[in-house]
């Protein structure tokens, strides 16, 4: 029997063991001062394929334990030097893996010893005399559960560090008493320990005051309507503001305890990086123009608002610089880059508000023109091309660029922006191969009838002002913090004798082209000021937003005109906010800055309109004296499901906050959009949720009866 057992305290290499006894690699330590027992144990266990090492007293056992890290220890109770209990206690202390099975060999019916064994840290016990069949089963079982225990502990540790890294904690909200229970990681997420937020009220106290009503409303929704909870909110703890994301779901705990289980995560840093990444992802870094993605999004937006019944069209244009590589060779790479930047700048100056622009390739640009007819659109394109063909001055060089241009037309060629853009690109390639400047994708039948209609509309516009066909409507703007109407935007309408009420996107470009915009713009200014003054006189404290068209803004006597209108109407300048568009403000930054400064000096407010889709470099924005940023509707529309739009809005609000500007989101149509918008830190909203543009009298009724949408969902406290 002795001969086929490994030598005491030595571990035979696997190859030297007979095939039947192949060690499993698991080392067992047997500790017993009784040599026959030890030998028997060793015999039985090594036949099972274990590698057995032995010690005859506690001290020896501890040395082997530290040296070999056995997978399991069998430990006799009665031993000289150090008895089994003391050895067990010390082994547990040494046990790095925390959970190595320690099985004690006790006398049968020695209940005290069994008790003692467990309190010393033993995993299990086996009574003497040993039942050998049972022994191997017990050993295997202990090894397996030890292994499982280690895995559970390891994955728990992994989970803990994952939570720590992700700044994630778990929580439970008991609806019966509003008590909150948190996992240990709460401190890392909120900067406070769980006892400090044991009740819902204590959590709400940490929430930023501006977010509190919204948070309460959403919690109520979850409580009353079982709606899953998902929100981002600002919390202030330890003198720091953090943005945390709270998610949860209704569940049941125990007999009839309704609870909400959830997670909370600190997303401050995440959102900051996302915002930056996303801005970069939507803009070309050389020219700062929108890229293809943003262009397509903008096109989809414009396409959805196209008035098809009236024959309105959208031109999607692909513009390619002819033989750009030649210029690059001549100017060097830096010179080529400069040329592209200059071209982008010029293009920017040429697009009007409703046109979009993007750099879609190295020397390729895309352009969107919305027009009443194809002919009118092509006219606009031609006038843009005329400007683009003018020379560029680069240091010592003068460069003239030529282009090949492809055009796709919606709705004739479809309404999918991506398809249209590809079609335009195909047309451009064809144009280049045929040495033609501009090619419309598919020859279209001459739309003579539409053209004459445009002419008729244009003629009618000339007389619209004197016939008193223009009127203003006002769209309310609500401050989120107070839930009150604090301002309106004045929007122009044209009551055409036969066409009915024409929306401004259809006639403002025409007014601009016809040179009528200044006259009409002045009328808008006067009418809006008269209305603002009327509201003042009845004690209504409303800020009135007035849109300035690009042409109007560039007029040399704009400042004098405004001053005069203010004097004549007697309106308080502080109640007026002029809305200008990014592209417009960027045209001539230096004089724009001067003009805006003068307007603000007499008390007017300035808002940047349609912010986010445009082209402004942030640096410009920092230099512009403005009061308000109006976030374009495009971003609000998808806010509830498009992460990219969310991060842009957050980036804009962050910029606004840093610069002390007020931020208004346009086009808020639903409560859900409103919740998201509010969470992102926006101050005011404008949109159908609050009210459509309406007559002044109607607006007064709205204000008198106004209840914040969704207010009925808020908690009473």
Residues forming contacts to ligand C2E in the complex (CB under 6 A) are 353, 475, 491-492, 503-505, 508, 521, 524, 547-549, 609-610, 633, 666-669, 686-688, 693
Of the two residues 223 and 551, which places its CB atom closer to ligand C2E in the complex?
Answer: 551
Cβ-count burial 338-360 (b if 16+ within 10 Å, e if not): bbbebbbbebbebbbbbbbbbbb
Please choose which of Ca ion, ligand C2E, none residue 551 contacts, taking the beta carbon within 5 to 8 angstroms, the exact cut-off set by kind. none
- Long-range contact set of residues 703-712: C-beta below 8 Å, sequence gap at least 24: 703/476, 703/485, 703/540, 706/484, 706/485, 708/478, 708/483, 708/484, 709/671, 709/674, 710/217, 710/671, 710/674, 711/483
- Report the SS3 class of residue 79: coil
∠ Cα 84 87 88 (to 5°):
85
| Smallest gap from residue 271 Cβ to ligand C2E (A) | 25
Please choose which of ligand C2E, Ca ion, none residue 503 contacts, taking the beta carbon within 5 to 8 angstroms, the exact cut-off set by kind. ligand C2E
| Smallest gap from residue 637 Cβ to ligand C2E (A) | 8
Is residue 395 classed exposed, middle or buried when 0-12, 13-18 and 19+ CB atoms within 10 A define those classes?
Answer: exposed
Listed residue (591, 627, 595, 589) closest to 608, CA to CA: 627
Please choose which of ligand C2E, Ca ion, none residue 571 contacts, taking the beta carbon within 5 to 8 angstroms, the exact cut-off set by kind. none
Of the two residues 153 and 467, which places its CB atom closer to ligand C2E in the complex?
Answer: 467
| Smallest gap from residue 657 Cβ to ligand C2E (A) | 23
Please choose which of ligand C2E, Ca ion, none residue 710 contacts, taking the beta carbon within 5 to 8 angstroms, the exact cut-off set by kind. none
Of the two residues 378 and 492, which places its CB atom closer to Ca ion in the complex?
Answer: 492
CA 105 to chain centre: 62
Please choose which of Ca ion, ligand C2E, none residue 107 contacts, taking the beta carbon within 5 to 8 angstroms, the exact cut-off set by kind. none
Q: Which two tokens stand for residue 602?
A: 């007499």
Cα radius of gyration rounded to whole Å, the chain:
38
Please choose which of ligand C2E, Ca ion, none residue 653 contacts, taking the beta carbon within 5 to 8 angstroms, the exact cut-off set by kind. none
Of the two residues 289 and 690, which places its CB atom closer to ligand C2E in the complex?
Answer: 690
**CA-CA distance, 60 to 228, in Å (whole number)?**
60
Please choose which of Ca ion, ligand C2E, none residue 57 contacts, taking the beta carbon within 5 to 8 angstroms, the exact cut-off set by kind. none
| Smallest gap from residue 550 Cβ to ligand C2E (A) | 8
Of the two residues 183 and 587, which places its CB atom closer to ligand C2E in the complex?
Answer: 587
Of the two residues 106 and 581, which places its CB atom closer to Ca ion in the complex?
Answer: 581
Phi (first) and psi of residue 286, to 5 degrees: -75, -50
Of the two residues 138 and 633, which places its CB atom closer to Ca ion in the complex?
Answer: 633
| Smallest gap from residue 673 Cβ to ligand C2E (A) | 9
| Smallest gap from residue 526 Cβ to Ca ion (A) | 18
CB 337 within 8 A of CB 287: no
Of the two residues 132 and 688, which places its CB atom closer to ligand C2E in the complex?
Answer: 688
Of the two residues 426 and 669, which places its CB atom closer to ligand C2E in the complex?
Answer: 669
Non-local CB neighbours of 552 within 8 Å, separated by 6+ positions: 517, 518, 521, 558
Strand duo 684-686 + 662-666: pairing: parallel
Of the two residues 197 and 548, which places its CB atom closer to Ca ion in the complex?
Answer: 548
Q: Which two tokens stand for residue 522?
A: 């002045």
Of the two residues 368 and 427, which places its CB atom closer to ligand C2E in the complex?
Answer: 368
| Smallest gap from residue 579 Cβ to ligand C2E (A) | 6
CB 125 within 8 A of CB 114: yes
| Smallest gap from residue 654 Cβ to Ca ion (A) | 20
Please choose which of ligand C2E, Ca ion, none residue 101 contacts, taking the beta carbon within 5 to 8 angstroms, the exact cut-off set by kind. none
Please choose which of Ca ion, ligand C2E, none residue 46 contacts, taking the beta carbon within 5 to 8 angstroms, the exact cut-off set by kind. none
Of the two residues 216 and 583, which places its CB atom closer to ligand C2E in the complex?
Answer: 583
Q: Which residues bind Ca ion (CB under 5 A)?
A: 547, 579, 609-610, 666
Instruction: State the Cα torsion 72-77-80-86 to the nearest 10°.
Output: 70
3-state helix, strand, coil in the chain (%, to 5): 50, 25, 30
Please choose which of ligand C2E, Ca ion, none residue 491 contacts, taking the beta carbon within 5 to 8 angstroms, the exact cut-off set by kind. ligand C2E
| Smallest gap from residue 579 Cβ to Ca ion (A) | 4
- Report the SS3 class of residue 488: strand
Is residue 151 classed exposed, middle or buried when 0-12, 13-18 and 19+ CB atoms within 10 A define those classes?
Answer: exposed
Q: Using alpha carbons, list the distances in angstroms from residue 590 to 544, 585, 586, 624.
A: 27, 10, 9, 9
Around Cβ 474, how many Cβ atoms within 10 Å? 26
E-strand stretches of 305-416? 313-321, 357-361, 364-371, 392-394, 397-399, 403-410
Please choose which of ligand C2E, Ca ion, none residue 555 contacts, taking the beta carbon within 5 to 8 angstroms, the exact cut-off set by kind. none
Around Cβ 269, how many Cβ atoms within 10 Å? 11
Of the two residues 41 and 353, which places its CB atom closer to Ca ion in the complex?
Answer: 353
CB 662 within 8 A of CB 683: yes
| Smallest gap from residue 608 Cβ to ligand C2E (A) | 11
| Smallest gap from residue 630 Cβ to Ca ion (A) | 5
Of the two residues 216 and 581, which places its CB atom closer to Ca ion in the complex?
Answer: 581
Please choose which of Ca ion, ligand C2E, none residue 582 contacts, taking the beta carbon within 5 to 8 angstroms, the exact cut-off set by kind. none
Please choose which of ligand C2E, Ca ion, none residue 509 contacts, taking the beta carbon within 5 to 8 angstroms, the exact cut-off set by kind. none
**CA-CA distance, 112 to 105, in Å (whole number)?**
13
Of the two residues 100 and 547, which places its CB atom closer to Ca ion in the complex?
Answer: 547
Backbone dihedral region of 102: left (phi > 0), alpha (psi from -120 to 50 degrees) or beta? beta
Q: Which two tokens stand for residue 450?
A: 């539409």
| Smallest gap from residue 591 Cβ to ligand C2E (A) | 19
Please choose which of Ca ion, ligand C2E, none residue 492 contacts, taking the beta carbon within 5 to 8 angstroms, the exact cut-off set by kind. ligand C2E
Q: Facing residues of 55 across strands?
A: 31
Q: Which two tokens stand for residue 131?
A: 């039942």
| Smallest gap from residue 701 Cβ to ligand C2E (A) | 19
Please choose which of ligand C2E, Ca ion, none residue 87 contacts, taking the beta carbon within 5 to 8 angstroms, the exact cut-off set by kind. none
Q: Using alpha carbons, list the distances in angstroms from residue 477 to 480, 484, 610, 636, 668.
A: 9, 8, 15, 15, 10
| Smallest gap from residue 653 Cβ to Ca ion (A) | 16
Phi (first) and psi of residue 31, to 5 degrees: -120, 110
Q: Which two tokens stand for residue 215?
A: 């948070």
| Smallest gap from residue 610 Cβ to Ca ion (A) | 4
């Amino acid at each position: 029997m002795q001969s086929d057992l490994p030598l005491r305290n030595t571990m035979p290499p696997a190859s030297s063991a007979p095939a039947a006894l192949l060690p499993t690699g698991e080392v067992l330590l047997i500790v017993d001062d009784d040599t026959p027992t030890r030998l028997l144990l060793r015999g039985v266990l090594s036949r099972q394929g274990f590698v057995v090492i032995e010690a005859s007293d506690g001290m020896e056992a501890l040395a082997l334990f530290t040296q070999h890290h056995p997978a399991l220890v069998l430990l006799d109770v009665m031993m000289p030097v150090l008895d089994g209990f003391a050895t067990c206690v010390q082994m547990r202390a040494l046990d790095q893996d925390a959970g190595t099975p320690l099985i004690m060999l006790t006398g049968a019916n020695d209940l005290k010893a069994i008790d003692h064994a467990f309190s010393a840290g033993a995993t299990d016990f086996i009574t003497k005399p040993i039942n050998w069949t049972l022994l191997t089963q017990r050993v295997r079982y202990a090894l397996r559960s030890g292994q499982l225990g280690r895995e559970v502990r390891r994955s728990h540790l992994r989970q803990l560090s994952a939570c720590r890294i992700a700044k994630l904690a778990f929580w439970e909200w008991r609806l019966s008493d509003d008590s909150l229970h948190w996992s240990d990681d709460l401190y890392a997420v909120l900067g406070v320990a769980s006892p400090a937020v044991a009740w819902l009220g204590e959590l709400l106290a940490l929430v930023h005051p501006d977010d509190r009503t919204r948070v309460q409303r959403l919690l109520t929704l979850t409580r009353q309507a079982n709606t899953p909870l998902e929100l981002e909110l600002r919390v202030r703890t330890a003198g720091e503001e953090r943005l945390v994301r709270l998610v949860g779901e209704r569940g049941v705990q125990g007999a009839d305890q309704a609870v909400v289980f959830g997670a909370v995560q600190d997303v401050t840093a995440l959102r900051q990086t996302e915002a930056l990444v996303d801005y970069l992802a939507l803009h070309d870094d050389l020219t700062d123009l929108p890229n293809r993605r943003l262009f397509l999004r903008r096109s989809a937006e414009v396409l959805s608002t196209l008035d098809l019944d009236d024959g309105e069209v959208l031109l999607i244009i692909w513009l390619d610089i002819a033989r750009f590589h030649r210029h690059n060779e001549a100017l060097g790479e830096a010179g080529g880059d400069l040329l592209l930047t200059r071209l982008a700048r010029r293009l920017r100056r040429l697009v009007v508000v409703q046109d979009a622009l993007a750099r879609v390739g190295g020397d390729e640009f895309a352009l969107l023109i919305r027009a009443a007819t194809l002919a009118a659109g092509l006219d606009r394109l031609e006038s843009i091309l005329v400007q683009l063909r003018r020379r560029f001055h680069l240091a010592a060089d003068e460069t003239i660029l030529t282009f090949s241009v492809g055009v796709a037309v919606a709705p004739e060629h479809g309404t999918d922006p991506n398809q249209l853009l590809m079609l335009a690109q195909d047309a451009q390639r064809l144009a280049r191969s045929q040495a033609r400047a501009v090619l419309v994708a598919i020859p279209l039948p001459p739309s003579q009838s539409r053209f004459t209609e445009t002419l008729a509309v244009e003629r009618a516009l000339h007389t619209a002002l004197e016939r008193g066909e223009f009127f203003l409507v006002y769209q309310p703007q609500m401050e989120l913090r107070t839930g009150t109407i604090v301002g309106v935007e004045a929007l122009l309408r044209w009551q055409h004798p036969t066409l009915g009420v024409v929306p401004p996107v259809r006639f403002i470009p025409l007014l601009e082209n016809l040179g009528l915009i200044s006259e009409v713009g002045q009328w808008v200014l006067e009418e809006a000021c008269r209305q603002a003054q009327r509201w003042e006189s009845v004690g209504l404290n409303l800020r009135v937003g007035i849109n300035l068209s690009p042409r109007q803004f560039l007029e040399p006597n704009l400042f004098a005109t405004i001053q005069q209108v203010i004097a004549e109407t007697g309106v308080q300048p502080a109640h007026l906010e002029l809305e200008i568009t990014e592209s417009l403000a960027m045209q001539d930054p230096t004089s724009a800055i001067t003009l805006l400064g003068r307007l603000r000096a007499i008390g007017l407010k300035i808002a940047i309109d349609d912010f986010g889709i445009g082209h402004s470099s942030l640096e410009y924005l920092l230099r512009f004296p403005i009061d308000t940023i109006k976030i374009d509707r495009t971003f609000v529309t998808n806010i509830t499901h498009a992460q990219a739009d969310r991060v842009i809005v957050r980036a804009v609000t962050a910029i606004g906050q840093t610069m002390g500007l007020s931020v208004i989101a346009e086009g808020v149509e639903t409560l859900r959009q409103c919740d998201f918008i509010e969470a992102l830190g926006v101050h005011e909203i404008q949109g159908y949720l609050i009210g459509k543009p309406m007559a002044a009298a109607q607006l007064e009724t709205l204000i008198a009866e106004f209840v914040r949408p969704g207010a009925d969902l808020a908690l009473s406290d």
